[in-house]
Amino acid sequence: MSNSDFEKDSITFREFVSTSVWSVKVVWKMRPGLTSIYILSGIVLSLLSFVGNFAMAKVIDTIIAVSNGKLDFNWVYYSVGLFFIISVFRYGFNLASRYSGRMIQSYFYAKFEEQIYTKMNALGIETLEQPKINNLLSRIQMNWRNFLTSFELIVSSISSLSAITTGGIIVFKFVPSVAPFLILVTVPYMYFDRKYTKLIWRKDKELTETRRSAYDALYQLTDSKSLQELTIVSGRKFLEKKFIDFREYWYNFESRERMRFFKQLFVLRLVREGIIAFADYTVIVRFIKGFITIGDVTFYFPTIGGFSGNIYNFTSSLTSLYESSLRTSEIKEFFEMEAVHKDGTKSLGKLQKGPEIIFRNVDFKYPNSEKLVIKGLNLTINAQEKIAIVGHNGAGKTTLVKLLCGFYYVNSGEILVNRANIKELKKDSLYENMGVLFQEFNEYRFLSAKHNIFIGDIKAKMNKTKIRRAAEKADASEFIEEFENKYDQILSEKYKGGVRPSTGMWQKLAIARFFYRNAPLVIFDEPTAAIDAVSEAKIFNRIYRFFKGKTVIIISHRFSTVRNADRIIVFDNGKVIEQGTHEDLIKLNGKYAKAFYMQAEGYK
Residue 76 has pLDDT above 80, yes or no: no
Tell me what pLDDT residue 603 has.
Answer: 55
Q: Dihedrals φ, ψ of 442, to 5°?
A: -80, 145
Residue environment code for 206-241, b if the CB has 16+ CB neighbours within 10 A, otherwise e: ebbeebbebbebbebbeeeeeeeebeeeeeeeebee
Round the average pLDDT of the chain to a whole number and report it: 84
Fold adopted by 13-211+253-336: ABC transporter transmembrane region fold (1.20.1560)
The mean pLDDT value for 567-586 works out to: 90
pLDDT tens-digit readout, 115-139: 888 888 888 777 777 777 877 887 7
Closest by Cα among 409, 430, 418 to 362? 409
Residue 2 has pLDDT above 50, yes or no: no
Sketch the domain layout of the chain as residue ranges.
13-211+253-336, 357-602
Of the chain, the percentage scoring pLDDT greater than 90 comes to 23
Name the 3-class secondary structure at 96.
helix
Residue 451 has pLDDT above 90, yes or no: yes
Given pLDDT bands bounded at 50, 70 and 90, which one contains residue 331? confident
CA distance 471 to 511: 8
For the chain, what's the residue count? 604
CA distance 604 to 600: 7
Q: What does 532-566 look like in DSSP terms, one character per residue?
A: -HHHHHHHHHHHHHH-TTSEEEEE-S-GGGTTTSS
The residue type found at 98 is: R
Ramachandran region of residue 486, left (φ > 0), alpha (ψ -120 to 50) or beta?
A: left
The mean pLDDT value for 147-159 works out to: 86
Given pLDDT bands bounded at 50, 70 and 90, which one contains residue 8? low
The mean pLDDT value for 394-422 works out to: 89
Of the chain, the percentage scoring pLDDT greater than 70 comes to 95
Query: Who has greater pLDDT, 282 or 138?
Result: 282
The answer to which of 46-50, 132-136, 297-301, 401-405 has the lowest mean pLDDT is 132-136
Tell me what pLDDT residue 6 has.
Answer: 45
Given pLDDT bands bounded at 50, 70 and 90, which one contains residue 4? very low
Tell me what pLDDT residue 478 has.
Answer: 92
Q: What does 496-516 look like in DSSP terms, one character per residue?
A: TT-----HHHHHHHHHHHHHH
Tell me what pLDDT residue 1 has.
Answer: 39
pLDDT tens-digit readout, 505-561: 998 899 899 889 889 999 988 766 666 677 777 777 777 777 888 999 988 877 777
Pairing of strands 420-421, 434-437: unpaired
Given pLDDT bands bounded at 50, 70 and 90, which one contains residue 396? confident
The Cα-based distances of 469 to 348, 478, 511, 513, 518 in angstroms read 28, 12, 12, 11, 12
Contacts of 196 (CB under 8 A, 6+ apart): 257, 258, 261
Closest by Cα among 143, 93, 94 to 116? 143
Q: What is the distance in angstroms between the CA of the first residue and the CA of the last residue of the chain?
A: 58
Class of domain 357-602: alpha beta
Tell me what pLDDT residue 5 has.
Answer: 44
Closest by Cα among 552, 562, 443, 435 to 508? 443
CA distance 480 to 488: 9
Given pLDDT bands bounded at 50, 70 and 90, which one contains residue 437? confident
Closest by Cα among 439, 480, 441, 432 to 460? 432
Most confident of 219-228, 259-268, 420-429: 420-429
pLDDT tens-digit readout, 51-73: 888 888 888 888 888 888 787 77
The mean pLDDT value for 208-215 works out to: 86
Residue 461 has pLDDT above 80, yes or no: yes
The mean pLDDT value for 8-20 works out to: 78
